[in-house]
Chain A
Amino acid sequence: MISIELLVSQVEGLERDELERWIAHEWVRPDGPPEHFSFHQIDVARVRLIRELRYEMDVNEAAVPIILSLLDQLYELRRQIREAGALIKK
């Protein structure tokens, strides 16, 4: 787990203001209180994904929560199907 300072320094081109806005929108959900945010590896990867959506794929800010919500449902479903597959094998 890493702090917000470390995260900003690790992800090239990431602005702290922008990241704090994403956290306020709950696009990224670190642990801890705002003064001591703590990011898991999945949070770091999610920040990178949002950056790629915004700046490499030119997705505008209004569309990001729609994409994230659909992706969250897609991955949720994939985890469930895998779990169901494991249950059926038993």
Chain B
Amino acid sequence: MDDPYQTLGLSRDASADDIRNAYRKLAKKHHPDLNPGDKKAEERFKTISAANEILSDPVKRGKFDRGEIDATGQERAQQPRYRDYADSEAGGRYSSTSRPGEWNPEDLSDIFGSMFGQGRPFDQNAPIRGQDLHYTLTIEFLDAINGATRRLTLPEGGVLDVKIPPGTNEGQVLRLRNQGGPGRNGAPNGDALIELHVEPHPFFVRDGQDIRLELPVTVSEAVLGGPVEVPTPKGPVRMRIPPHSDTGTELRLRERGVPAHGSRPAGALYAKLRVVIGPTDAAFEEFLRSWQPEHPNDPRRALKETP
């Protein structure tokens, strides 16, 4: 048995008030009837009570301090505790509900609902909503931009027609109501949740609501300007290249990007020009040899000026 001073966390010169306060504090914490789920509380409380028994009595305390009795002192005959009854059938006598011993279905669905994540009633015949089922579907870039309907073959053998809305983003999840697992006892089915993955496009790149494209042009198209055909997600359109354009010149086609969807207005298509010289011939070479530029240009000037 432990030293009673140690048990109550007191020094040898503790006053009677110190002892009373220390005991009350520990008794409130460890009283077995207040800790029905804790098997060790009984033992701890016994030790605390025994320590208090000795130290709270000046005669016994004196005997202990002089070594005349040991820390066990005398234990009182153990009475059955309240928890021994309250934790059994007999406890129904002080039931907190109006009909002791009977199930309160509301309580139960509260308790089990919180255990299993949703308000699931504790009843075999109760309606239970079906499970949500998760799938992934890889779609083409242009289907994501313009919207489409695609058929998803399910692992279980069925098919789902998935309506892909215009302006779908990578990783977006579509919820198909009532297309998931079957509900029980007349409850609705779960939902099918479809995570969409968008394949990259060979030349279109999405940038929010806008689409970017690198547009190859000839030397004469860049210098002299003129109409060219530009692919857009909705098909090719004619665009006029202004004279004196160059590689890197960016042209904007309004409302040719991602179409308007929801509250978002249509985006633009940005075509960045890239001058391609391509195969040359003798006449072109002859022209370049004889050409005396009016404004000689050094395209590498920036490289020289930057240290």
> Which A positions have Cβ atoms within 8 angstroms of B?
29, 40-43, 45-46, 48-49, 52, 56-59, 67-69, 71-81, 83-84
Question: 21 interchain pairs (CB within 8 A)?
Answer: A40-B90, A42-B82, A42-B85, A45-B82, A46-B86, A48-B82, A49-B33, A56-B23, A56-B27, A57-B27, A57-B28, A57-B31, A58-B24, A59-B28, A71-B86, A75-B36, A75-B87, A76-B97, A79-B87, A79-B89, A83-B103
Task: State the majority secondary structure of interface residues on B.
Answer: helix
- Choose one: A46, A59, A78; the contact of B36 (CB below 8 Å): A78
CB of B7, distance to nearest CB on chain A (Å): 15
A67 and B31 CA atoms in complex are apart in Å by 13
A81 and B87 CA atoms in complex are apart in Å by 11
A56 and B113 CA atoms in complex are apart in Å by 40
> Which B positions have Cβ atoms within 8 angstroms of A?
23-24, 27-28, 31, 33-34, 36-37, 79-97, 103, 107-108, 111-112, 122
Nearest first, the 6 closest Cβ-Cβ pairs linking A and B are: A42-B85, A75-B86, A45-B82, A49-B82, A72-B96, A73-B96
Q: Across the interface, do B36 and A45 meet the contact criterion of CB distance under 8 Å?
A: no
Task: State the majority secondary structure of interface residues on A.
Answer: helix
A42-B91, A49-B33, A73-B96 are known contacts. Are A80 and B107 too (CB-CB below 8 A)?
yes
Residues of chain A within 8 A (CB-CB) of B87 are: 75, 78-79
- Choose one: A45, A69, A71; the contact of B85 (CB below 8 Å): A45
A71-B34, A78-B37, A80-B108 are known contacts. Are A40 and B80 too (CB-CB below 8 A)?
no
Residues of chain A within 8 A (CB-CB) of B122 are: 84
A57 and B103 CA atoms in complex are apart in Å by 34
Nearest neighbor of B76 in chain A, beta-carbon distance: A12
Q: Across the interface, do A45 and B34 meet the contact criterion of CB distance under 8 Å?
A: no
- Choose one: A52, A79, A83; the contact of B31 (CB below 8 Å): A52
Q: Across the interface, do A45 and B92 meet the contact criterion of CB distance under 8 Å?
A: no
A3 and B33 CA atoms in complex are apart in Å by 24
